[in-house]
């Protein structure tokens, strides 16, 4: 009968430093992505608001629900 262990080698010390160094870049990436998402949502809102009330009704929307619909469609949890 054999016995084996599943010990993995320790990660190098610089791994924690690398994560620390990349932290600000991740914040910048998140910030830029949030701007992209907000611009996409704004375009969707403008597109929907250009539609007639009849066309919105066909889509199951009221004009006053356009912003919350666009926020939900863009993945935002809370409507503006």
The DSSP call for residue 40 is: H
Q: What confidence tens digit (pLDDT) does each residue in 7-57 have?
A: 666 655 556 777 778 888 999 999 999 999 999 999 999 999 999 999 999
pLDDT of residue 49: 96
pLDDT at 11: 58
pLDDT over 50 at 80, yes or no: no
Q: What is the pLDDT of residue 79?
A: 41
Cα diameter, the chain: 77
pLDDT of residue 65: 94
What is the pLDDT, as a whole number, of residue 73?
87
Q: What whole-number distance in Å separates Cα of residue 72 and Cα of residue 80?
A: 10
């Amino acid at each position: 009968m054999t016995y084996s262990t599943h010990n993995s080698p320790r990660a190098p010390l610089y791994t924690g430093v690398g994560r620390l160094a990349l932290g600000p870049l991740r914040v910048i990436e998140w910030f830029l992505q949030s701007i992209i998402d907000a611009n996409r949502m704004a375009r969707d809102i403008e597109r929907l608001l250009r539609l007639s009330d009849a066309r919105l009704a066909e889509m199951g929307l009221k004009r006053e629900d356009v912003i919350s619909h666009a926020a939900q469609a863009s993945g935002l949890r809370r409507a503006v």
